[in-house]
Amino acid sequence: MRPLTEEETKSMFEKLSKYIGENIKLLVDRPDGTYCFRLHNDRVYYVSEKILKLATNIAREKLISLGTCFGKFTKTQKFRLHVTALDYLAPYAKYKVWVKPGAEQSFLYGNHVLKSGLGRITENTAQYQGVVVYSMADVPVGFGVAAKSTQECRKLDPMAIVVFHQADIGEYIRHEESLT
Amino acid sequence: MAAISVEQVLAQAEKDEAEKLRRITVQKELELQYDLGNMLAIDPNALNERDFRQQSREHLHALARDNTQLLVNQLFGLPCERVQEAVVVKLPDCTTRLPREKPVPKPRAPTRWEEFAKLKGIQKKKKTNLVWDEVHKQWRRRWGYQRAKDNTKEWLIELPVTADPAEDQFAKRIHAKKERVAKNELNRLRNIARSSKLGKVPGVGLTPTVQPTKSELGLAMQVARRSTASVGRFQDKLPREKEPRGTGKKRKFQPLIGDFSAEKSKQLEMLKLMDSKKPKLDVTRAVNRQMREEDSEAAAKRRKSQKPGRGGKQGGNRKGGKGAKGGKGGKGRGGKFSGAKRKSK
């Protein structure tokens, strides 16, 4: 376990800012305590100072997880968000997509969101903008990347992909063994 | 008829014989100078100027032929032998000295020691090759295999007073020898480098090559970067340049539990910087906004024009403005997409 280097921090922030924009500040600078990002087994954990200090008592190879896993660094040093980060992405998300109840299950099985399943979408969503996906009951179910801008979405045919799937809460079951 | 012919034949034969002799024997006022080893003949006779003027070509041909004939006559005068159906002569040694083909090799550049010895006036002393070996009671070589007083063959070494008793003196000796050999080799290479045409060989970096490889170029760039007064500390970087690898610098991480506030402020600083680098005008967003405005205008126009005809649709559209849950009006396009507007802002 170690703090992130400058490059790592930067690449992670760049990825996060696609979803929550400048709201990362609220994650870094929290009034309710000190929280920080720590790297462990190539994964980035968002953890409070208190938990971090407790975790130092556990040997490195024995430590499976601590705090909230935000994602991991690939071998080529790119950052990938995991679904576990959803809890922190959803409250600060700048661009949202709501899926219809019928398409919800399909999304939770790891499929892209099609136009036919699109309930609502935030205005001004640009193409390839990171978006958080909600059910119609305003429950965050995952996140992805807008395949089309809001404007283009209007004229799409029903089977066209609107949001590329990146992570959904179905992974808690599907990828149970790899999520930390 | 027959008598005439006999006379004629005889005359012809005589003529032929004379012609043949004339061809073989050549009369010269001065003898030619021969160097048979090089198959060379020098004609010291003066040129017949009148003949040469009148018909230079024929005259020179004749002269060359005659002189060659003389040279060949000389060659046939040499003792010959028969080797596999061929008559061969052994040429004597050359008497004319030819200039050498290649330039004379330059003397080897003096080594650093030789230069120093010359400066100090140190001269080599010849030592005898053999020395008397007291142990073996015989003359032995001073150096090399089976030398006299061979200290590698000692079975016991007296421990020096100052030495650590645990230290292996044999290993120490071998190590010292290896060190000396290595030093000598280094000096030898240094001498070669000093004397070579390249001039000074840099300790780091590269000598110029005709077509440097990618890695060589990278290394050259690295060296050039560091070759400033500040050892490259204030050297500008290219936009996406990576740190050079293999420079022997180990990466260092911040402590796991260190200064949390400093870490936080650093990250906030970074966020500030990232924010400032974002373009103020997002072109796609601006275009989208423009498109949306145009769409809404067109929709409004359509609504106005259709107002008297279809009443039922109107209500749905108006409701849709409030959100997707707006009943059946949700199917209306405007309603579906404008619902989240308030949330996003």
The alpha-carbon gap from B120 to the nearest alpha carbon of chain A, in Å, equals: 60
Q: How confident is the model at residue B321 (pLDDT cuts 50, 70, 90)?
A: very low
Residue of B nearest to A13 (CA): B271
Which residues have a Cβ under 8 Å from the Cβ of B163 and sit 6 or more positions away? B169
Terminal Cα-to-Cα distance of chain B (whole angstroms): 144
Instruction: Give chain A's mean pLDDT.
Output: 91
- Mean pLDDT along residues B119-136: 93
Residues facing A131 on adjacent strands: A144
Does position B335 have pLDDT exceeding 50, yes or no? no
Count other Cβ atoms within 10 Å, centred on residue B104: 6
Q: What is the pLDDT of residue B193?
A: 84
Q: What is the pLDDT of residues B75-103, one digit of tens each?
A: 988 998 888 889 899 999 999 988 899 99
- CA separation for the pair B52, B60 (Å, rounded): 7
For an interface test with A, give the residue of B240, B245, B251, B256 to mutate (most A CBs within 10 A).
B256
Which residues of chain B approach chain A closer than 8 Å at the C-beta? 251, 253-258, 260-261, 263-264, 267-268, 270-271, 274-275, 282, 284-285, 288-289, 291-292, 295, 323-324, 333, 336-341, 343-344
Per the CB < 8 A criterion, the answer to whether A49 and A33 are in contact is yes
Give the global pTM: 0.49
Q: How confident is the model at residue B334 (pLDDT cuts 50, 70, 90)?
A: very low
Q: What is the pLDDT of residues A8-63, one digit of tens each?
A: 999 999 999 999 988 889 989 889 989 999 999 999 999 999 999 999 999 999 99
- CA separation for the pair B148, B151 (Å, rounded): 9
Residue among A34, A52, A150 whose CB faces B337 most closely: A150
Residue of B nearest to A137 (CA): B325
Higher pLDDT, B319 or B193: B193
Count other Cβ atoms within 10 Å, centred on residue A49: 13
CA dihedral A22, A24, A30, A36 (to 10 degrees): -150
Does position B314 have pLDDT exceeding 60, yes or no? no
Residue among A34, A95, A98 whose CB faces B260 most closely: A34
Looking at residue B147, what DSSP letter applies? B
Q: Is A77 on the interface with B (CB under 8 A)?
A: no
Q: What is the pLDDT of residue B244?
A: 74
Rg, Å, chain B Cα set:
53
Q: In chain A, what residues touch B260 (CB-CB under 8 Å)? A: 34, 36, 49
- Residue A4 corresponds to which amino acid? L
Residue among B251, B260, B289 whose CB faces A49 most closely: B260
Residue among B256, B264, B275 whose CB faces A22 most closely: B275
Q: A122-131, B33-42, B335-344: which range is least confident on average?
A: B335-344
Q: What is the pLDDT of residue A63?
A: 92
Q: Is A151 on the interface with B (CB under 8 A)?
A: yes
Q: What is the pLDDT of residues B247-295, one digit of tens each?
A: 777 778 888 888 889 989 999 998 898 888 777 777 777 887 788 888 8
Residue among A13, A38, A153 whose CB faces B274 most closely: A13
**Between the CA of residue B317 and those of A4, A82, B292, what are the distances in Å?**
52, 40, 16
Q: What is the pLDDT of residues B174-196, one digit of tens each?
A: 999 999 999 999 999 999 888 88
Looking at residue B339, what DSSP letter applies? T
- CA separation for the pair A85, A44 (Å, rounded): 10
Terminal Cα-to-Cα distance of chain A (whole angstroms): 15
Residue among B270, B285, B341 whose CB faces A9 most closely: B270
B88 alpha carbon, distance to own chain's centre: 50
Q: What is the pLDDT of residue B24?
A: 81
Q: What is the pLDDT of residue B312?
A: 47
- CA separation for the pair B242, B231 (Å, rounded): 18
Q: What is the pLDDT of residue B220?
A: 83
Q: What is the pLDDT of residue B308?
A: 60
Determine the 3-state secondary structure of B126 from DSSP: coil
For an interface test with B, give the residue of A7, A11, A18, A124 to mutate (most B CBs within 10 A).
A124
> How much is the ipTM here?
0.86
Per the CB < 8 A criterion, the answer to whether A19 and B254 are in contact is no
Tell me which residue of B305, B306, B330, B301 sits closest to B318, measured CA to CA: B330
Tell me which residue of A119, A90, A91, A94 sits closest to A107, measured CA to CA: A119
- Mean pLDDT along residues A65-73: 93
Does position B142 have pLDDT exceeding 80, yes or no? yes
**Between the CA of residue B181 and those of A101, B203, B267, what are the distances in Å?**
83, 21, 56
For an interface test with A, give the residue of B254, B337, B345 to mutate (most A CBs within 10 A).
B337
Q: What is the pLDDT of residue B147?
A: 92
Does position B4 have pLDDT exceeding 80, yes or no? no
The alpha-carbon gap from B226 to the nearest alpha carbon of chain A, in Å, equals: 23
Instruction: Give chain B's mean pLDDT.
Output: 82
The token duo for B286 is 């601006």
A155 alpha carbon, distance to own chain's centre: 28
Q: What is the pLDDT of residue A132?
A: 94
B337 vs A127: CB contact, 8 Å cut-off? no
Q: B32-36, B280-284, B329-333: which range is least confident on average?
A: B329-333
Percentage of chain B modeled with pLDDT above 90:
30
- Residue B314 corresponds to which amino acid? Q
Residue of B nearest to A24 (CA): B271
Q: In chain B, what residues touch A91 (CB-CB under 8 Å)? A: none
Count other Cβ atoms within 10 Å, centred on residue B143: 11
- CA separation for the pair A87, B311 (Å, rounded): 46
A22 vs B292: CB contact, 8 Å cut-off? no
Tell me which residue of A130, A109, A113 sits closest to A17, measured CA to CA: A130
> How many separate helices (H) and strands (E) can be counted in chain B?
11, 6
The token duo for B26 is 């050549």
Residue of A nearest to B345 (CA): A94
Does position A171 have pLDDT exceeding 60, yes or no? yes
Q: What is the pLDDT of residue B328?
A: 42
Residue among A13, A29, A122 whose CB faces B343 most closely: A122
